[in-house]
Structure 1
Amino acid sequence: MIKKYIVERFSWIIFYILLHLFIIFVAFIDTAIPLKPILYIVFLSMIMFSIFLIVRYKIETKFYKSLEDREDNLDLTNIAYPDSPFERIIENSIINQTEFLKQSASQGQMTLEQEKDELLSWIHEVKTPLTAMHLMIDRLDNESLKSPLTYEWLRIHLLLDQQLHQRRIPFIENDLYIENTDLETIIFDEIKTLQSWCIQKGIGFDIHLEVTEVLSDAKWLAFIMRQLLTNSIKYSENSDIRIYSHEQAEQTILEVKDSGRGIDPKDLSRIFDKGFTSTTNHRDNAATGMGLYLTKNAAESLFISIDVKSELGTGTTFTLTFPKRNDFVNITSM
C-alpha cells in the first residue's frame, strides 16, 4: 500500500521537490538572498513534509485498505468511513452498485425459482400420459413391436427423471431424509425398471451383497444407482454387470463393475464434469454429459465418496464408499 500511495501522490511530491529546488536555485543566483538560511529553511520544510506524508498516508489509505481487504461479496459493513469528498463519491458508487446487484440477483433468483417450478410441474404433468403409455405398451401381444416401444418409453422416462433431479440438486439439502436404507431393495427395483433395456442388450447381473443396509437417503441413493446402472448398460453388450458390497474399516463399499468399452485414461479426470461426454466417441448424440455430474453432486451431499477405475476395452468400475455411521451422525448434527 505504501508503494501505491507514493505512486498516487508522485506528481505532488515531485512538484514539491522541484519547487524547493527552484527556491534554492533563485537564492544561488541572486546574491541579495542569503543561501544558507534558505537551505536551512528547505531542510526543515522537507522534514515537515515527510512527517506530513506519513500522517496523511495513515489517514488517506484507511478507506482504500478496507476496500482492498474486503471479500468479493455484497457485504459493505467492513468498509471504513470515508474521510474525503472523493472517498464519499466512491462509497456512494459502491453502495448504489451493490444495491443494484442485490436487486438483480433477487429478481434473477425469483425468475429461476419460477422457471424451476414450471419445469417441475411440466415434468409431473408429462409423467401421467407416460405412465398411461407404459400400461398400454404392457398390453401389447406383439413382442417385436412391444420391445422397441418399451425401450423408447424407458429413454423418455430416464431423461425426464434426470431433468427432475437436475432441478432438485441445488436444493438437495432440503430434500434429504436420512434413514436405514435397504441396498438390495434399491438395486433390484432399479434393475427391474431397466429390465427391458437389459434384455434387448443381452445384459445380466451378478449381485453379491455382504452389506445390505446403509444409512442414507433412499430416494437420492436410488437416483445414484440408476445413473451408474444406466451408464454401465449404455456402454455394455452381451455381458454381466457385477454389483458387490462389503465392509472395510467400518465403512460400506459398493462396487458396480461392467465389461463395456471402458473410458479413455485422458477422460477419467473429466467424466464428472458438467456436460462432458467423451473423446473416444464424440459423435455419441445420445449422451447428455449430465448423468455422472448429477451423480457426483448427489453423492457429495450424502457424504458418499465416488471413485472410478477403467481401461479401454475391459470395462469400468464405480466404487461408492459410504461414511462411517458415527461420522455421518456427527456431520449431520453440526
Structure 2
Amino acid sequence: MYLINLITKVAKTKSRDLLLYAINTIVIIFFYYLLFDNSEIIYPLILSAFIVSIYFSIEVIRYKSFQEKLYDSKRSPNYDGSNLTYSEEEILNNISEIHQDYQNKIYTLNQQIKERETLFSQWIHNMKTSITVIDLACEQSNINNENNKSIEDIKEENNMLKKNLEECLNLLRLDDFSRDYITGRCSLRELVNGVVNSKKRDFIYKGVFPKVNIPDDVYVYTDKKWCSYIIEQIISNAIKYSKTKSGDTVEISYKNNNNTTIVFIKDTGVGISKEDLPRVFDPFFTGNNGRKDRNATGIGLYMVKLVSQKLGHKIEIESTTNVGTIIKIIF
C-alpha cells in the first residue's frame, strides 16, 4: 500500500514530464510509420517504455529519500542535507529555520512559566506563614478563655484560606509530578483510615459517620501521598454535600475485579443532577450544588482527575439527585 501511494504521488508530481515522454513516443512511432514500409513500431515502444521506467524508478527512489529527510526535519533541524536538489534543499532549510524559531520561542515561554511558578510558590509559602501566625493567635485567645465570635469567624476563614493555598501548591506541583511521587505497595485500609482520621472533625460537625469496609490484607500500587490526596478530596465532598440529618454515612468499600482493585466511596447526600454529572471533572465547574456553597471552587474533582491520570488510576462517578453519589477509584 505504501509503495502504491508513493508511485501515485510521484506520477502526480511528474505528470508533465510523463506527458512529454508520451508525446515524444507518439512522434517517434509516427516517423517510423512514415519511413519504414513494414511499419515496425514495437522497437520504439520498447525503447521508450524502458527509458520511462528507468526515469520513473529513479524519481520514486529520490522522492522516497526526500520524504525521509522531510520527516527527519519535522522532528529535528539537524537532518542530513546531502543528495538534495536545489528546490528540496530550499524547502528543508525553511522548515529548519521555522523549527529553530519555534524551539527558541518554546524555550523562552517555558523559562517564563517556571520563573512565574517559582514566584507564586514563594508567595504562597509566605502567605502560609502568616496563616500559621493567625492560627496561633486564635488558639491563644481560646486558651485565655476569650470566647469571641469574631475570633471563631477569623479561625474558620483562616482554615479556608489555608485549604485554598494548599490547592494552589498542588496545582503547581503537577507540572513536576514525575519528581514528586514514589509508587509502592500500600495498604488500602491504612490509606483510607489515615484520610478518615484526618477528617474526624468534619465528620463530627456535619453529623456524618464513616464506614470503612476494607480488610487489612488489601494492597494497591500507588503513591501514598497523592493517593491520600485523591481520597481526601472525594471524602471532603461526600461530607460537604451530605444531608444534615442524623444517621447519614460515608461508606468506603472495595472489590477485586480480575487485575484491578476498585474502591467505592458512597454517600447518601444531595446527589448531582443529570445535567451537571458530565462536567463535574471540568476545572472551576461548581454546578447547582456548588452555587449554594460559597466555599466551592470547582478545583477539587478536577485535581482528582488530573492526579489519578498521572498515577495511572481511573475515576468513575455515578449519582442520583437526593439519593447520593458513588465515586469509584480503579487501581
The TM-score normalised by the length of structure 2 is: 0.75
Q: Do 1:63 and 1:80's aligned partners in 2 also have CA atoms closer than 8 Å?
A: no
Q: Do 2:233 and 2:304's aligned partners in 1 also have CA atoms closer than 8 Å?
A: yes
Q: Do 2:272 and 2:289's aligned partners in 1 also have CA atoms closer than 8 Å?
A: no
Distance 1:85 1:164, change over 3 A: same
SS at 1:104's partner residue?
Answer: helix
Unaligned ranges ≥5, structure 2:
1-5
Match for 1:60 among 31, 53, 62?
62
Q: Could you tell me which residue of structure 1 aligns to residue 3 of structure 2?
A: none
- Aligned residues with identical type, % of pairs: 21
Q: Could you tell me which residue of structure 2 aligns to residue 315 of structure 1?
A: 324
The residue type paired with residue 214 of structure 2 is E
- Write the deviation string for residues 48-103 of structure 1: whole angstroms up to 9, x where unpaired: 332133322332222243257x4896346787854322222233233333333333
Distance 1:247 1:44, change over 3 A: closer
**2:226 is the counterpart of 1:220:** yes
Q: Kindly state the Cα deviation for residue 126 of structure 1 after the two structures are TM-superposed.
A: 0.8
The residue type paired with residue 209 of structure 2 is F
Alignment of 1:287-302 (within 5 A): 287-302=296-311
The residue type paired with residue 320 of structure 2 is E
Alignment of 1:157-172 (within 5 A): 157-172=162-177
Q: Aligned pair count?
A: 312
SS at 2:285's partner residue?
Answer: coil
Distance 1:23 1:237, change over 3 A: same
Q: Do 1:235 and 1:260's aligned partners in 2 also have CA atoms closer than 8 Å?
A: yes
Match for 1:210 among 210, 214, 217?
214
- Write the deviation string for residues 94-130 of structure 1: whole angstroms up to 9, x where unpaired: 3333333333332222222222211111111111111
Aligned partners of 2:289, 2:59: CA distance in 1, in Å? 62
Q: Could you tell me which residue of structure 1 aligns to residue 19 of structure 2?
A: 14
The residue type paired with residue 217 of structure 1 is D
* Aligned-pair Cα RMSD in Å: 3.8
Q: Do 2:212 and 2:252's aligned partners in 1 also have CA atoms closer than 8 Å?
A: yes
- Write the deviation string for residues 252-304 of structure 1: whole angstroms up to 9, x where unpaired: 6543322333223455444334x262665696786544321221232344444
SS at 1:277's partner residue?
Answer: coil
Q: Kindly state the Cα deviation for residue 19 of structure 1 after the two structures are TM-superposed.
A: 4.2
Aligned partners of 1:204, 1:282: CA distance in 2, in Å? 19
Aligned partners of 1:251, 1:286: CA distance in 2, in Å? 35
SS at 2:75's partner residue?
Answer: coil
Q: Kindly state the Cα deviation for residue 238 of structure 1 after the two structures are TM-superposed.
A: 0.6
**2:57 is the counterpart of 1:51:** no
Q: Could you tell me which residue of structure 2 aligns to residue 123 of structure 1?
A: 124
Unaligned ranges ≥5, structure 1:
323-334
Distance 1:237 1:190, change over 3 A: same
Distance 1:188 1:282, change over 3 A: closer
Distance 1:312 1:105, change over 3 A: same
Aligned partners of 2:73, 2:236: CA distance in 1, in Å? 41
Q: Could you tell me which residue of structure 2 aligns to residue 189 of structure 1?
A: 198
**2:278 is the counterpart of 1:277:** no
Q: Do 1:74 and 1:102's aligned partners in 2 also have CA atoms closer than 8 Å?
A: no
Q: Do 2:318 and 2:325's aligned partners in 1 also have CA atoms closer than 8 Å?
A: yes
Q: Do 1:227 and 1:295's aligned partners in 2 also have CA atoms closer than 8 Å?
A: yes
Aligned partners of 1:20, 1:207: CA distance in 2, in Å? 89
Q: Could you tell me which residue of structure 2 aligns to residue 328 of structure 1?
A: none
Aligned partners of 1:291, 1:278: CA distance in 2, in Å? 10
Distance 1:170 1:180, change over 3 A: same
Deviates more, 1:11-20 or 1:160-169: 11-20
